[in-house]
Amino acid sequence: MITFEHVSKIYSNGVRGLQDVNLTIGNGEFVSIIGLSGAGKSTFLRSINRLNDITEGEVCVNGRSVTKAGKKELRAIRRRIGMISQNFNLVKRSTVQKNVLSGRLGYYSTWKSILGIFSKEDYELANDALERVGLLDKLHSRSDELSGGQQQRVSIARTLVQQADIILADEPVASLDPITTQKIMQDLKQINQTMGKTVIVNIHSVQLAKQFSSRIIGFKSGCVVFDGTPEKLGGKELTEIYGRNILEEKEGAQDEA
C-alpha cells in the first residue's frame, strides 16, 4: 500500500512539481497516471522510491515512511519497488544476464556484488524472469544488441528478480511502436494479475490507460484533478486534465497531448 499525505514538491528553480497530493494506492491495483507533460506525473512516480525528494508531506510504502527513511532503510524499501522507464535504462554494454541480476543488488553486500558473486537461487530467479518475458535465449547477449521492445522486457525482468511488490513504470512505451506497445502493456497487466503486484504507469495515451488500468489518476499542474475507474473518465474530466477533450478530436491529436 502506498499513501501520499499532503505531499508537495517545489524544485529549486521554483517550479511546482506536486501540490498537496493526498491519495492511497492499494495492493494489486493497476494505476495509470495521465496528464500533460510537466503536470507532475514523473515527479509523483519518482517520489514513491525517493528518486526525487519531496519538500512537504510524507510518502509511506507498506506502512514505512519513505520520506523519513535513513540510508539503510531507504535501500530496503527501494529493493521492494521495481522501476522501468522510457529509456529502458539498461547498462548497454553488459549482458542481459548481468542487467537482470543487477535487480538483486539491494540484497547483496558491496564486496560480494563487486566480485560478481551471486547465489545459485538468484541465477535461477534471473532465468525464470527472462523465461517469463520470453528472452531466455538472449542470456549472454549484449543488451545493446536487442531491439527496443526486447530491452524493455529485460528491464521488466529486472524488476521481477527484485521480487518487488510494486512496479513503477515511467512512460514505458513512449519510444516503442504500437504493436510492441501492446505487448509490453500486456506483460505488465499479466504480472499485475497473476503475481498480484501493484503496477503504476505514467502514460501519455488515454486509450492505453483506459484499456489496461483498474484506476486512473489525472494530474494537472501538480494537483490531482481526477481519480477513479476508467469508466468514469469522460469528456468533461479529460477537458479538465488536458484543457480540451482529446478523445473527440481527430486521431493523431493524442500524440500532441
Partner 1 sequence: MRLKDTVHFNWYKHLFIAVIIAICLVASAGVTGADFTEVFGNAEQMSIFMARFLQPDFAYIPNIIGPMISTLQMSVVGTAIGVAFAVPVAFLATTTVTGNQVLTTVVRFFLDIVRTIPNLLLAALMVAIMGIGELTGVLTIAVFTFGMVSQLIYEAIETVDEGPIEAAESVGANKVQIAFWSVAPQIMSQVAGYTLYALEVNVRASTVLGYVGAGGIGVILNSSLALLQYSRVSVIILMILVVVAIVDGVSEAARRRLS
Partner 2 sequence: MMGAERAMNNRKWKTWAAAIVTAAVILVSAAGIDYSGLEYFSASMAGEVFKGLTRPDWGFFYDGSGEDLVSLLLLTVGIAFLGTAIATVLALPFTLISSSNLWRTCPWVAKIGKFILNVLRAFPELVYAIIFVRMVGPGPFAGVLAIGVHQIGMLGKLYTEEMEAMDEGPVEAMTAVGAGFWQNMFFARVPQLMPIYSSLSLNHFEIAVRSASTLGLVGAGGIGAPLIFAIQARKWDRVSIILIGVVIAVFAIDTLAGVIRKKLR
**Residues in touch with partner 2 (CB under 8 A):** 49, 51, 74-79, 81-83, 85, 87-94, 98, 102-106, 108, 110, 113-114, 155, 158, 162, 168
Residue 118 found at the interface with partner 1 (CB under 8 A): yes
Pairing mode of beta strands 198-202, 223-228: unpaired
Region of 37-45, 91-99, 146-154, 207-215 interacting with partner 1 (CB under 8 A): 91-99
CB of 18 to partner 1, least distance (A): 39
The CB density around residue 205, as the number of other CB atoms within 10 Å, is: 18
CB of 76 to partner 2, least distance (A): 7
CA angle 32, 17, 159 (to 5 degrees): 45
CA angle 11, 16, 21 (to 5 degrees): 115
Q: Distance between CA atoms of 73 and 170, rounded to whole angstroms? A: 24
Contact map string, positions 157 to 176, toward partner 1, x by CB under 8 A: --------------------
Instruction: Considering only residues 176 through 215, tell me which ones interact with partner 1, judged by CB under 8 A.
Output: none
Closest among 47, 105, 53 to 79, alpha carbons compared: 105
Q: Which is nearer to partner 2, 19 or 170 (CB)?
A: 170
Residue 196: φ, ψ to 5°? 70, 20
| Given 116, 194, 251, 252, the residue binding partner 1 (CB under 8 A) | 116
Q: Name 29's Cβ contacts closer than 8 Å, sequence gap at least 6.
A: 198, 199, 200, 214, 215
| Given 10, 105, 123, 227, the residue binding partner 1 (CB under 8 A) | 123
Region of 94-102, 153-161, 206-214, 239-247 interacting with partner 1 (CB under 8 A): 94-102
Q: Choosing among partner 1, partner 2, none, which partner's interface includes residue 51 (Cβ < 5 to 8 Å by kind)?
A: partner 2
State the residue for C-alpha cell 506502512: 63
Residue 93 found at the interface with partner 1 (CB under 8 A): no
CB of 99 to partner 2, least distance (A): 8
Q: Name 131's Cβ contacts closer than 8 Å, sequence gap at least 6.
A: none
